[in-house]
Amino acid sequence: MRVVLQRVHRAAVTVDGRVTGAIDHGLVALVGVGRTSTDEDARWLAAKAEGLRIFPDDGGRMNRSVVDAGGGVLAISQFTLYGDATRGRRPSFVAAADPAEGDRLYRLFCDSLTVPVGRGVFGAHMDIDMVCDGPVTITLEREGAGQPGMAGS
């Protein structure tokens, strides 16, 4: 599973002209699910994302988590994080989970967060409006928890 986090002042996602999720300050989380992603990966990544100390303290140092900062997470499903463009000009998405499993693990990631969560719509075309803060962008990956040689084990 892969998650790209972007620290934001505010963010919203719109589907068919309707806002489906929005946050004031916090994190936008682009969430990609791979074929070997597990429930444990989803829970671990949610805890890791909201525990990262990437928000400024009173001295301006990145010392606070989104929880400490009183922020939220806008989670967007993003199967294209598993696009492989090493060959040809059209990315291959064979490493991405099938849609049913991708949706299930995306929802588990969202449900595992303890901060307020805004959500996109799995599989929909989404317009994302965000005001980046910093910018601060962090990439997290954990694949096939507990399997020797896999990231995050």
21 Cβ contact partners less than 8 Å away, ≥ 6 residues apart: 12, 13, 74, 75, 117, 118, 119, 120
Tokens 């671990």 locate to 44
* Catalytic residue, candidates 80, 114, 139, 147: 80
Distance in angstroms (rounded) separating the CA atoms of residues 5 and 50 = 10
Structural contact between residues 11 and 120, judged by C-beta atoms closer than 8 angstroms = no
80 in active site: yes
The candidate with the shortest Cα–Cα distance to 13, out of 135, 151, 119, 122, is 119
Distance in angstroms (rounded) separating the CA atoms of residues 142 and 148 = 12
* Catalytic residue, candidates 6, 14, 38, 78: 78
Tokens 């990231």 locate to 151
* Catalytic residue, candidates 14, 38, 79, 122: 79
147 in active site: no
Query: In 3-state terms, what secondary structure has residue 104?
Result: helix
* Positions marked catalytic: 78-80
